[in-house]
Chains A and B, each alone.
Chain A
Amino acid sequence: MPHFRACLTGAAVLIAAVTINVAEARTPQDQLVIGMNMVNLTTLDPHNANSYESYHVIANLYDTLLRSDPNTPGKVVPGLAKSWTVLPDGTLEFTLDERATFQSGRKITAADVAYSFQRAVKLGLLARAYYANWGYDAANVDQKFRAKDDRTFVMEVATPVAPSLKLNALTRVYGAVLDREVIAKHEKDGDMGRGWLASNAAGSGPFTLNRWNPNDIVVLSRFDAYWGGEPKMKRVLVRHLPESQTERLQLEKGDLDVGFQLVSADIDGLAKNPNIVIDRLVGSGFYYLIMSTKDPEFAKPEVRRALRYCINYKDINDVVMKNYGTSATTFIPADIPGYIPDIGNVYDPAKCKQGLADAGYGEGFSKQLLSLNSTPYADMATAIQQNLAVAGIKVDILTGNGDQTYGPMRDRKFQLGVGRTASSAQTDADGWLRTHVYNPDNKDDANLSNLQAWRASFELPDVNKLMDEAQAITDNEAKRVELYKQALKLFEESAPPIIPISQRVDPYAKSARLKNYVGDIGWMTRWDRVEKQD
């Protein structure tokens, strides 16, 4: 069969030719290659960004009015505004940096800033809720956000809010300033450029957007005339790598400079590699267990109180949550003013059983637990399932995607759920507490589905009152913090249906070749100062 043999030989030669010595890959000096799972990168519109991934890309396409010092979390430093003052009535006045220009070449004026913030509110997308907290709505923003002159932008007060809260928030993605003239060119039916901006950019950041293919790649090019100085990297490639193992391999082989969303085992593996550095961004969210107080069993405070003792927090944090979170006992973490030590959850299986028996559930009961089908949620859910089984509570886990898990929680139609609150850095107790303990209206049709306490159908009027009072204090930080402390204490004493398990941590791996790559806890990591060395 010579034909056959010829074919075989041909195939062998082909395979050999291909496999001989694939050169060890190494990213070029002037390109930054980043791997991440892009499933959550759904828009590049700063006013509709909702994920860690989109924040990172947007941070490099746009400038924000203020920035936070990545080396000193919580410290506000100049961005587009070179200075700012707080007037006695709480009004903020910002003076823009005269060097600042858009990528289109136009000088940035106070009118652009006003337009951007008005757009954030008027579009009614995610950014709106942010500003709504401070009393801004579509009806009043045109008056409240004003250009006093070309270089001075004024933000008047709508409801009294501590100025530090606003200043901090303006360093985040919703504080981005957009080029209104470029947007005007692409506006359709008065959408304020919404359709176009979802996958294009009109900013002043250090990089321009070359190409974004969803779930595939983002290519950014250096904006040579960046007003803050020419970026070191000619290109930044962000590649969709949903598989952590692949990401790790590529990091180890030098195909990749930075890798996000690695799973725990790979973080541990990479930590052993001398060419890789692991950094951790402390996140402002919790992995939590939530009970619906609409459920007849969980409506009873004794049951909820007992349940808190059932979970082996230490084991879960040490094994399942390793590299995803750090142990958390309550909703204000240790480094935030307002923290109270020795409050919150404790593991004590004896008290757990006793508590359930006292509540009349010595025989236990059955419940359904919702969880995302991904790491670490599903693992956390199975661990909790086992902990609760010891106490006689039989738990069925129902895993699914984001909608299947969070959907029922938002609709208040669930019994138990595990999840994670996600937000970029909160350096103030207000942000930490608001998501978890605040619930001003417990009616079903209030639809405060972004508030965990509402999802749990759990309302504590006194806590709400303290929160409202605290937010309105503009001149006495110590008193403000004290009120948050009281709110937290009150919350923890009422057998709350939301149990924090870990505080979110976002570890990422970077090549040891990188210099000046400093992760920002507000997810606004800048890539323009990054350099490579050999």
Chain B
Amino acid sequence: MSTASKGLTAWLTTEEPNSARHATLQNIWRVWSRFASNPLGVAGLVIILLLVFVAVFVPWLAPYSPFEQNLRETLMAPNGQHLLGTDELGRDILSRILWGSRITLSIVAIVSVIVAPIGLIVGCLAGYYGGWLDTILMRVTELFLSFPSLILALAFVAALGPNLNNAIIAIALTQWPPIARLARAESLSLRNRDHISAVRLMGASSLHIVIAHIAPLCIPSVIVRITLNMAGIILTAAGLGFLGLGAQPPSPEWGAMVSTGRRFMLDSWWVGTMPGLSILFVSLAFNLVGDALRDALDPRQE
């Protein structure tokens, strides 16, 4: 095992890569080792992995149902039975927070899945074709960028009706423009590269070039950008929940839980504090990872 891993390490760090794939893997390895040397980043990653673990196995981990009320045990302070106490309807707060991790993660995941292709396509088309298409697409992008994301999300949710799905759509609508701009910049620099020109000379259609040759090359930077935005997505979603325009009760969404907890802050601090801390930890974790990733990818910064 150790020799094998040594061999692998050697293969990953050798000066002369054998193939394109070898080179790519080496690149990833380099980024990873830089990332791994950043303790804060690793800590963040551990929290995120923990979150994923919790989200997957929550039915076995949570001590109670997140919805089951017990009107005889309302607003109990943290104790042996309920480690984080109970809320105003006697529901176990720990269980609700654990189940809430699924909501948080799915918001992040769904938003990313929606945003990446849209941003990529808009950006690559604008960057590659240029001209009036570029002008139109970028004008629209700038329009969306001229709002703070929460305000725009608020307006969209108000227009679509407040619930979790619409909150996700609204957040996605606010998140694609930076991606599009990034992709546009990348494809601008790519479109005159030799290999693209070669493909063009071979008679490939423009659309084919964009989809098969330009977009894939933009993907890594888009992924990084999205990772950096994840904490923002979480906070925006929590803010919407807090204002009552995101997930609706009895859903154990953390922002909505904080909002509920606000009513009991004076006598029962735990109701609002615990979910607030969860939001803080998770968004900090994403920020730490994003930050470490940025450093790892861009050694000039350090």
Contact = CB atoms under 8 A, between A and B. Distances in A.
Direct contact of A and B (CB under 8 A): yes
B55 to A, nearest CB: 23
- Residue among B72, B88, B262, B267 facing the most chain A CB atoms (10 A cut-off): B88
Interface stretch (B21-29, B178-186, B214-222, B243-251): B243-251
Given A382-B89, A400-B161, A318 B71 contact: yes
Contacts, number: 60
Interface string A241-270: 001110011000000000000010110010
Given A320-B89, A378-B249, A404-B161, 10 more contacts: A244-B263, A245-B264, A265-B267, A269-B267, A318-B71, A319-B74, A382-B250, A383-B71, A383-B89, A385-B250
A235 B278 CA distance: 46
Given A382-B249, A383-B71, A248 B266 contact: yes
Nearest to A244: B263
B52 to A, nearest CB: 28
A379 B162 contact: no
Interface string B68-91: 110110110000000000001100
A266 B266 contact: yes
B265 interface: yes
A399 interface: yes
A263 B263 contact: yes
Interface string B154-171: 000000011000000000
A27 interface: no
Contacts of A382: 67, 69, 89, 249-250
Contacts of B71: 315-316, 318-320, 383
B66 to A, nearest CB: 12
B268 interface: yes
Given A320-B71, A400-B161, A245 B250 contact: no
24 contacts: A243-B262, A245-B262, A245-B263, A245-B265, A249-B266, A263-B263, A265-B88, A265-B266, A265-B268, A266-B263, A315-B72, A318-B71, A319-B74, A320-B71, A373-B244, A378-B249, A382-B69, A382-B249, A383-B71, A383-B89, A386-B68, A397-B248, A397-B250, A400-B248
Interface in A370-398: 373, 375, 378-379, 382-383, 385-386, 397-398
Nearest to B264: A265
Contacts of A318: 71
Contact of B249 (A265, A397, A404): A397
Interface in A16-33: none
B263 A375 contact: yes
B28 to A, nearest CB: 40
A352 B77 CA distance: 35
Contacts of B69: 382-383, 386
Interface string B271-295: 0000000000000000000000000
B116 to A, nearest CB: 31
Interface in A255-304: 263, 265-266, 269
Interface of B: 67-69, 71-72, 74-75, 88-89, 161-162, 244, 248-250, 262-268
- Residue among B68, B72, B75, B244 facing the most chain A CB atoms (10 A cut-off): B244
Contacts of B250: 382, 385, 397
A376 to B, nearest CB: 10
A413 B240 CA distance: 28
Contacts of A404: 161
Interface residues of A, number: 27
Contacts of B68: 386
B262 A265 contact: no
Interface string A352-376: 0000000000000000000001010
A373 B248 contact: yes
Contacts of B249: 373, 378, 382, 397, 399
B263 A399 contact: no
Nearest to B250: A382
A400 B263 contact: no
B230 to A, nearest CB: 27
A520 to B, nearest CB: 28
A386 B65 CA distance: 12
A404 B89 CA distance: 24
Contacts of B74: 319
B164 to A, nearest CB: 12
A373 B75 CA distance: 20
Contacts of A248: 266
Contacts of B268: 265
B244 A245 contact: no
A379 B88 contact: yes
A245 B266 contact: yes
By Cβ-Cβ distance, the 6 closest A-B pairs, closest first, are A319-B71, A399-B248, A315-B71, A382-B250, A378-B249, A263-B263
Interface in A317-332: 318-320
A316 B264 CA distance: 19
B266 A400 contact: no
A265 B271 CA distance: 13
A400 B248 CA distance: 8
B121 to A, nearest CB: 35
A315 B264 CA distance: 20
A266 B248 CA distance: 23
A251 to B, nearest CB: 12
Contacts of B161: 400, 404
A439 B68 CA distance: 38
A379 B75 contact: no
A329 B159 CA distance: 40
A385 B250 CA distance: 10
Given A315-B71, A386-B69, A400-B162, A269 B266 contact: yes
Contacts of A375: 263
A245 B71 CA distance: 22
A238 B269 CA distance: 29
A385 B268 CA distance: 25
B70 to A, nearest CB: 10
Nearest to A243: B262
Nearest to A382: B250
B301 to A, nearest CB: 22
Contact of A265 (B67, B75, B89, B162): B75
A176 to B, nearest CB: 35
Contacts of A383: 69, 71, 89
A320 B72 CA distance: 11
Contacts of B265: 245
A444 B67 CA distance: 37
A243 B266 CA distance: 12
A398 B264 CA distance: 23
Given A245-B265, A266-B266, A379 B244 contact: no
- Residue among A244, A266, A398, A399 facing the most chain B CB atoms (10 A cut-off): A399
A8 to B, nearest CB: 24
Contacts of A398: 248
A476 to B, nearest CB: 46
A273 to B, nearest CB: 12
